[in-house]
Amino acid sequence: MAAISIWMYKIQARRRCQLHIHCATSCSELQNAWKQWNAAAWRNINLDQLPSRNGNYSWVSKDNSPTSRLRRLAAACQTLGYLLEHHSPAMNHDTELVDGDYPRSCIVPQHHILEPSGGTVMENAVQQARSGARVAAINAASAHQVGGGFMTGGRHALEEAMCMQSDLFFSLQQAESLAIRQSFDIHIPTYGAVLSRRVKVFRHGTEQGYRSFEAAPVEISVLSVSMPNLNRAVQDSPQDQGDANTRWTLFSRKWDAVLKGAMSTGARILIIPDAGCGVFQNDSREVGAALGYVLRRYAEAGCFKKVIVTGSPGFYHAVFNQLHEGHILPHPASGNHQLHFRRIKAEQSIRRPTEQHAYSAGAYRPVAICDNDNKGDLRSRDRYHCCCLQ
């Protein structure tokens, strides 16, 4: 009965429908189970704190036993049920698919905006939002599974935790719908990100068993970005075969989409993790250097007051060195952008649409990818999103 309910939710069944189930024996036991499950599902839902084991909650992110998977799945369903009953989140989200460009080289900014943090993305985001700041947090997301392992009982990393702590999952579903309308098979653009405005955060993190806030929920924006997978052991995401130059282009355009989307929300504080440097095994120095390179023009223009960096020290130092010391890295050869896009599509066995498209920022119309995506500067190309540069 639980599996049928989850299936009906996944297909977004809105109207009353007839469900025909053929049983070899009497259906009375099945009918009774259905009635009990239906009554329990519509009972007043409260957000329970997850149970601890041996005095901690490490099992939530580490234990992959069937019991732990079922317990995480039950917690995910309870979270979604609570949100649907109390907040109607599907009606509140403003979701966009944002495309990134390869930025031109920019002068090194003179003022420092980076700040390292040992806390999680959500901890920092909530703290800054409660102080009155407009905050954008970055989610290291899966492009091939909406919410990562959130709806399969998988071990909780950043994305699964963010879906447990907030109503982000509904916005990611909206992104999937937008991608399907444009004939894409992944909900996060290859060279872009998903922008989720007005995400409500109402829980503490994994280390506290997702205990509910005593105070009111906070509202933030979230940018979900997916990084290439270099780990052969990961089965649910195709392995990327690109070299360092093509990955540099990919990282740079993804970070540009993240920063462009964050700026369009009016956020002054960014919380950025070392996305893709965990199970996907990307080099934190490469990912961080690309972020620092792209961040230069936004920092010099004064777009953000503070950028809080979480994750490994190597990631933070790579961002800092590229941002403030101006290490020069080679620009990819002309034509790399389009060729890399095509190879990624082919290697991941993803159906390619009839036209080569990327997602445009601020609208749901596609824009063609060309070899010279770096033409023009930030002031002339992105006036809608870059009002602070006028």
Identify the structural domains of the chain with CATH numbers, from first to last.
89-389 (3.40.220.10)
Order of strands, edge to edge, in the sheet holding 192-201?
A: 94-99, 192-201, 218-225, 135-140, 269-272, 306-309, 114-116
3-class DSSP state of 271:
strand
Closest by CA position to 295, among listed 320, 314, 317: 320
CA 95/CA 175 separation, integer angstroms: 7
Instruction: Give pairs for 382-389: CB < 8 Å, separation 24+.
Output: 382/260, 384/264, 385/260, 385/261, 385/263, 385/264, 385/361, 386/260, 386/263, 386/301, 386/303, 388/263, 388/301, 388/302, 388/303, 389/301, 389/303
The residue type found at 60 is V
R_g of the chain computed on alpha carbons? 22
CA 166/CA 72 separation, integer angstroms: 15
The DSSP call for residue 155 is P
pLDDT at position 369, please? Answer: 28
pLDDT at position 383, please? Answer: 25
Contacts of 318 (CB under 8 A, 6+ apart): 284, 285, 286, 287, 288, 289, 291, 292
CA angle 247, 250, 252 (to 5 degrees): 110
CA 242/CA 255 separation, integer angstroms: 18
Written as tens digits, the pLDDT of the chain (390 aa) is: 556 666 665 555 555 666 666 665 566 766 776 676 666 655 556 788 999 999 999 999 999 999 899 899 989 988 988 888 776 554 556 899 999 988 766 666 767 889 999 999 999 999 999 999 999 999 999 999 999 999 999 999 999 999 999 999 999 999 999 999 988 889 999 999 999 999 999 999 999 999 999 999 999 999 999 999 998 888 778 888 788 889 999 999 999 999 999 999 999 999 999 999 999 999 999 999 999 999 988 988 889 999 999 999 999 999 999 988 765 444 333 333 322 222 222 223 222 222 333 322 222 222 222 333 333 333 332 322 222 332
pLDDT at position 348, please? Answer: 31
The rounded Cα 3 to chain-centroid distance in angstroms is 26
Closest by CA position to 212, among listed 47, 361, 36: 47
* Alpha-carbon distances of 243 from 230, 286, 340, rounded to whole Å: 11, 12, 10
pLDDT at position 373, please? Answer: 36
pLDDT at position 354, please? Answer: 29
Contacts of 133 (CB under 8 A, 6+ apart): 268, 269, 305
In 56-164, at which residue ranges do the beta strands (DSSP E only) sit? Answer: 94-99, 114-116, 135-140
Q: How many CB atoms are closer than 10 A to CB 202? A: 21
pTM of the model as a whole: 0.75
